[in-house]
Amino acid sequence: MKELIKTSEDVLVMLDELLFEQKSFKWDTFYEDRTKQVPFFKDIPDENLVSYVTKRVIKTGKVLELGCGPGRNAIYLAEKGFFVDAVDSSQEALQWAKERARTKDVEVNFIRENIFCLNYEAGTYDFVYDSGCFHHIPPHRRISYLELIESALKPGGYFALTTFVEGGELGGSEISDWDVYRLKSLKGGLGYSEEKLKEIFDCFEPLEIRLMKEMPAASGMFGVSGLRTALFKKKED
């Protein structure tokens, strides 16, 4: 029956419908023009991710990337010997990612799916990475997001993300969670402080939360101001 609320999922779907701007945005359209001057269209990995790997904080294993886009981080991890499942809802982004992977002769398991509808074996991932997905997730879906990470990771596994700062130059609205529903909008994406990230992910051990480093073009790494990076560890059983 239309618009009948009977389950908690019905409530989530209703709240999804309230955020009409978020629901109407077309990621396939966003990725169609590959020549756009979008910073993260460059085929280079996040500087924080490179630091985790080079410092051996994250060691070779199985990785789940949430919202992989054109695949730059997934491909980097595969080149370093990781087994990577990379998820995105955009067919255009994944087509671009597959072309890049073929060019570099690396294997990545690209999956077209909404992250909340993902089929996976619980407790099998050593590392879950999210670069730019979390700040587009509305507050009412955070519970599902946390459950996904907690379930996917092995005990002692790692989770890292790169997200908007509050009032950042690339985006990062400073509105409260309640205001999201008053305004019926995420205002392009939510910004996060260090304190807010610690509060949301308090079931994990925080290892490093910092601003992303600005990286020169010749570095071969993606690094811009206006983003915050965070690394967490799942507690041992």
Look up residue 160 and give its amino acid: A
Instruction: Return the pLDDT at 33.
Output: 87
Give the 3-state secondary structure of residue 200.
Answer: helix
Instruction: Return the pLDDT at 53.
Output: 98
Q: Does residue 71 lie within any of the structural domains?
A: yes
Q: Does residue 161 lie within any of the structural domains?
A: yes
Q: 231 — phi, psi (to 5°)?
A: -125, 130
Instruction: Return the pLDDT at 27.
Output: 86
Which DSSP helix (H) or strand (E) runs through 198? Answer: helix 194-200
Give the CATH number for residue 219.
Answer: 3.40.50.150
Q: Does residue 187 lie within any of the structural domains?
A: no
Burial pattern 165-196, b for ≥16 Cβ within 10 A else e, equals: beebebbbbeeeeeebeeeebbebbbbbeeee
Instruction: Return the pLDDT at 1.
Output: 58
Instruction: Return the pLDDT at 208.
Output: 98
- pLDDT digit string (tens) for the chain, length 237 residues: 578 999 999 999 899 888 977 777 888 888 888 888 888 889 999 999 999 999 999 999 999 999 999 999 999 999 999 999 999 999 999 999 999 999 999 999 999 999 999 999 999 999 999 999 999 999 999 999 999 999 999 999 999 999 999 999 889 999 999 999 999 999 999 999 999 999 999 999 999 999 999 999 899 999 998 999 999 999 886
Structural domain containing residue 223: 43-168+199-234
Instruction: Return the pLDDT at 71.
Output: 97
> Which among 120, 196, 177 is positioned nearest to 151, based on CA atoms?
120
Instruction: Return the pLDDT at 21.
Output: 75
Instruction: Return the pLDDT at 220.
Output: 95
User: HEC states along 81-145?
Assistant: CCEEEEEECCHHHHHHHHHHHHHHCCCCEEEECCHHHCCCCCCCEEEEEEECCHHHCCHHHHHHH
Q: Does residue 122 lie within any of the structural domains?
A: yes
- Per the rule left: phi > 0, alpha: psi between -120 and 50, beta: everything else, 68 is alpha
**Helical axes 91-104 vs 72-79, angle rounded to 10°:** 30
Instruction: Return the pLDDT at 36.
Output: 85
Q: Does residue 185 lie within any of the structural domains?
A: no
Q: Does residue 207 lie within any of the structural domains?
A: yes
Tell if the pTM clears 0.85, that is, is over it: yes
Tally of domains in the chain: 1
Q: Does residue 218 lie within any of the structural domains?
A: yes
Q: Is 204 exposed, middle or buried (0-12, 13-18, 19+ CB in 10 A)?
A: buried
Q: Does residue 193 lie within any of the structural domains?
A: no
